[in-house]
């Protein structure tokens, strides 16, 4: 009725009648923001709401409208956690790291003041010496030089020299990536290691967010130059980024409607339902594009913005399972505005009659008992490989989301696998390529790595061509047995979903199939145990999801042509399931005990992990 571009439909609940829809209607927006927590507390005290975590407050904009609700929750003593407030760069540690990036990019001494920030961890005496020194610290960037200007603490000199060395590297343009610089800052300040030792998980997760921002510039920025990188960070700061918050175990969730998509809660409050807030006012584009110039042509309705807002309102009110509470007011900031038109469309014209809280029937909300908000956790083997190597690596890379410098910046392995997929697909289609076709296939499927020198790119392409020609020369006779290439799978194991993609599935002569995984490295360079686990996961995926009977598992090392095959059996499958179940159980319990035997081999986190710093590998240039 209200969205003429949509087909009309009758919606009804499958569970039958339940609680009434409750309307909290007050004179002003501030009064409504206070009334909502008060009403929730009454329901909680009456046993209608068992757990605060069963409640979600959804707003059109958390950044604009959450503050009075948050204040009222605090006064009422209701635990709560806010997401979507875009305050990431307002965090003390993130703002200090932002200023340290400025220090690295500053060509003049003005940036040296940022070295006196608490995050650097210098003593008061050292900070005083730096404040008294007015010249460029790069001019005294030696142990003796720092001692001469009054830095007497040896650890402080070591930390300052690391930061000044990093600055000189950046100033000379000798850094390979910005994420490398980010890790240099964490290593020089020791901040991440201190967070790990002090159990400051929220800080570490927000460092993961910052690493993702830096890595995104590396991937899409097209330059390693620090000036555009700082402009990028400035834009992200002005636009707003959401921080990670570790909520109390039992707390009301405050979030935007967009963030709630795909989630459900026993109790949902949709607040600030006033004209101008929800629906929001349409913002005129700075440069309006005429409809007849758009690919979509003329809009189907007169006000597309209102249609979009109504759809978003539908999303909001359908996030609840048991009880829906709507909040509105007559006055916003001493001005009119009035209740949202969506409330009239939903409840009728007499909202005051609906807003009788004492007469509303409210059943006891069925608690979800700490069940996860979103979908089940999904795990790829590349993630589980981190856990097998060292559980702490899994925590850093997967739980905290720390992006790392690319181990293969040119993307050699990915490029070879793209070419392999094309070779196998042509063979399946009845046009098996020969050795003479390989160079063209590699050229067609090759994706250049960011910032790779042309001569290196050429050398890598030639190496790929050589590997694939050898493969075709010795194994083209197996092409008629190909069933699938780059076959995706996913299957459930307990409360988790395991997924992956198999390079090649071939028919076995004795019936069933053989799964093949290709490695571009040489056979002696990779862990046999890790390869076994990877192929075991793939075999389980093929049998469980794809319905194939796996007879053999094969790993093919293109680097030296070595091929190793072993049999798959029901006993091996049982052992593999049990092994993966144990790993997933440890992940669920958040058991991330460091495996210090791996420390000498760790490349990504060795410079920032306190355990790796205690168990270093060979010194690196």
Provide DSSP, 436-496: GGHHHHHHHH--PPTT--HHHHHHHHHHHHHHHHHHHHHHGGGGGGEEEEEEEEEEEETTE
Question: In which residue ranges of the chain is pLDDT below 50?
Answer: 620-621
Q: What is the three-class DSSP state of 150? A: coil
Q: How far apart are CA 195 and CA 610, in angstroms?
A: 10
Q: What is the three-class DSSP state of 89? A: helix
Q: How far apart are CA 565 and CA 539, in angstroms?
A: 13
The C-alpha torsion from 175 through 178 and 180 to 183, rounded to 10°, is 130
Q: What is the three-class DSSP state of 520? A: coil
The C-alpha torsion from 516 through 518 and 522 to 527, rounded to 10°, is -70
Handedness of CA 257, 261, 265, 267 (dihedral sign): positive
State residue 291's pLDDT score. 64
Handedness of CA 408, 412, 415, 421 (dihedral sign): negative
Q: How far apart are CA 274 and CA 331, in angstroms?
A: 8
Q: How far apart are CA 68 and CA 447, in angstroms?
A: 51
Residue 144 — φ and ψ, nearest 5°? -65, -40
State residue 248's pLDDT score. 78
State residue 524's pLDDT score. 73
Q: What is the three-class DSSP state of 276? A: strand
Q: How far apart are CA 243 and CA 255, in angstroms?
A: 12
The C-alpha torsion from 593 through 597 and 601 to 603, rounded to 10°, is 30
Give yes or no for a contact between 246 and 202, defined as CB atoms under 8 angstroms apart. yes
Give yes or no for a contact between 403 and 209, defined as CB atoms under 8 angstroms apart. no
Residue 484 — φ and ψ, nearest 5°? -145, 150
State residue 621's pLDDT score. 44
Find the helix or strand (DSSP H, E) in which 506 lies. strand 496-507
Among candidate residues 136, 143, 218, 145, the one with its CA nearest the CA of residue 177: 218
Q: How far apart are CA 467 and CA 465, in angstroms?
A: 6
In this structure, the number of other CB atoms found within 10 A of the CB of residue 173 comes to 9
> Residue 353 contacts by C-beta under 8 Å, 6 or more apart in sequence?
none
Q: How far apart are CA 424 and CA 417, in angstroms?
A: 10
State residue 369's pLDDT score. 61
From residue 61, alpha-carbon distances to 270, 273, 305 in Å are: 11, 11, 16
Whether the ω angle into residue 125 lies within 30 degrees of 0, i.e. cis, is: no
- Domains in the chain and their CATH numbers? 22-83+246-281+304-354 (3.40.50.300), 89-239 (1.10.486), 406-588 (3.90.320.10)
Dmax (CA) for the chain in angstroms is: 82
| Helix 29-45 vs helix 67-76: crossing angle, to nearest 10 | 40
């Amino acid at each position: 009725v209200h969205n003429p571009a949509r087909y009309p439909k009758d919606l009804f609940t499958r569970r039958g009648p339940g609680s009434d829809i409750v309307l909290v209607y007050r004179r002003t927006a501030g009064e409504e923001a206070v009334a909502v927590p008060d009403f929730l507390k009454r329901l909680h005290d009456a046993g209608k709401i068992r757990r605060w975590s069963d409640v979600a407050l959804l707003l059109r904009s958390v950044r604009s409208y959450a503050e009075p609700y948050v204040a009222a929750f605090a006064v009422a003593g209701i635990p709560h956690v806010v997401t979507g407030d875009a305050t990431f760069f307002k965090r003390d540690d993130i703002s200090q790291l932002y200023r340290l990036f400025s220090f690295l990019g500053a060509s003049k001494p003005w940036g040296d003041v940022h070295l006196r920030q608490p995050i650097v961890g210098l003593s008061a005496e050292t900070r005083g010496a730096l404040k008294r020194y007015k010249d460029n610290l790069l001019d005294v960037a030696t142990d003796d030089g720092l001692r001469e200007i009054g830095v007497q603490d040896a650890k402080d000199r070591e930390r300052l020299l690391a930061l000044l060395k990093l600055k000189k590297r950046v100033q000379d343009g000798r850094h390979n990536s910005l994420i490398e610089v980010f890790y240099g800052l964490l290593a020089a300040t020791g901040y991440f290691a201190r967070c790990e030792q002090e159990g400051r998980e929220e800080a570490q997760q927000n460092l993961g967010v910052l690493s993702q921002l830096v890595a995104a510039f590396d991937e899409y920025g097209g330059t390693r130059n620090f000036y555009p990188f700082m402009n990028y960070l400035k834009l992200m700061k002005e636009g707003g980024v959401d921080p990670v918050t570790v909520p109390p175990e039992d707390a009301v969730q405050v979030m935007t409607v967009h963030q709630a998509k795909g989630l459900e809660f026993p109790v949902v409050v949709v607040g600030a339902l006033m004209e101008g807030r929800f629906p929001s006012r349409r913002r005129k584009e700075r440069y309006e594009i005429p409809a007849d110039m758009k690919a979509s042509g003329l809009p189907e309705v007169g006000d597309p913005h209102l249609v979009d807002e109504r759809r978003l309102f539908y999303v909001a009110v359908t996030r609840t399972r048991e009880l829906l509470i709507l909040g509105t007011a007559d006055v916003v900031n001493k001005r009119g505005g009035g209740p949202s038109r969506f409330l009239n469309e939903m409840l009728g014209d007499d909202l005051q009659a609906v807003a009788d809280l004492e007469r509303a029937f409210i059943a006891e909300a069925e608690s979800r008992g700490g069940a996860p908000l979103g979908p089940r956790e999904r795990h790829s083997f590349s993630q589980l490989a981190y856990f097998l190597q060292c559980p702490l690596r899994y925590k850093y890379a997967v739980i905290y989301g720390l992006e790392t410098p690319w181990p293969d910046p040119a993307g050699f392995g990915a490029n070879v696998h793209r070419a392999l997929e094309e070779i196998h697909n042509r063979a399946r289609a009845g046009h098996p390529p020969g050795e003479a076709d390989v160079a063209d296939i590699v050229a067609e499927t090759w994706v250049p790595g960011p910032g790779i020198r042309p001569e290196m790119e050429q050398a890598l392409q030639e190496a790929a061509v050589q590997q694939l020609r050898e493969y075709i020369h010795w194994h083209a006779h197996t092409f008629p047995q190909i069933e699938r290439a780059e076959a995706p799978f996913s299957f459930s194991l307990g409360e988790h979903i395991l997924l992956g993609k198999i390079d090649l599935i071939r028919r076995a002569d004795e019936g069933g199939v053989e799964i093949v995984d290709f490695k571009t490295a040489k056979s002696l360079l990779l862990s046999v145990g890790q390869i076994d686990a990877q192929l075991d996961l793939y075999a389980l995926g093929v049998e469980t999801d794809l319905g194939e009977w796996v007879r053999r598992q094969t790993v093919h090392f293109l680097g030296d042509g070595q091929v190793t095959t072993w049999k798959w059996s029901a006993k091996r499958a049982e052992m593999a399931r049990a092994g993966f179940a144990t790993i997933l159980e440890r992940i669920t319990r958040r058991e991330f005990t460091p495996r210090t035997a791996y420390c000498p081999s760790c490349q990504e986190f060795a410079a920032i992990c306190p355990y790796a710093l205690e168990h270093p590998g060979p010194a690196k240039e």
